[in-house]
Amino acid sequence: MNENKKNILTALGFGEEVKREEKGLCVFCSQPVVWEDFKDEISKKEFRISGICQECQDKTFVKP
């Protein structure tokens, strides 16, 4: 995560989530993120944006 994004998120009250992401943990469930668990490039891109693991993405972004 770049320093600017880190500073903004911390200022908005997401300091704990920033710390989790820096440790390689999912920002939602705090479990270790395993790169091989991601289903596709879109899921990997979402992780790079949000820090959410594949399992949490599946629970969060439910298809109608």
State the pLDDT at residue 2.
Answer: 86
7 half-sphere exposure, CB direction, 13 A CA radius: 3
State the pLDDT at residue 64.
Answer: 74
pLDDT in tens, the chain (64 residues): 789 989 999 999 999 999 999 999 999 999 999 999 999 999 999 999 999 999 999 999 987 7
Residues 6+ apart with CB under 8 A from 6: 18
State the pLDDT at residue 35.
Answer: 95
Query: How many domains in the chain?
Result: 1
Containing structural domain, residue 22? 3-60
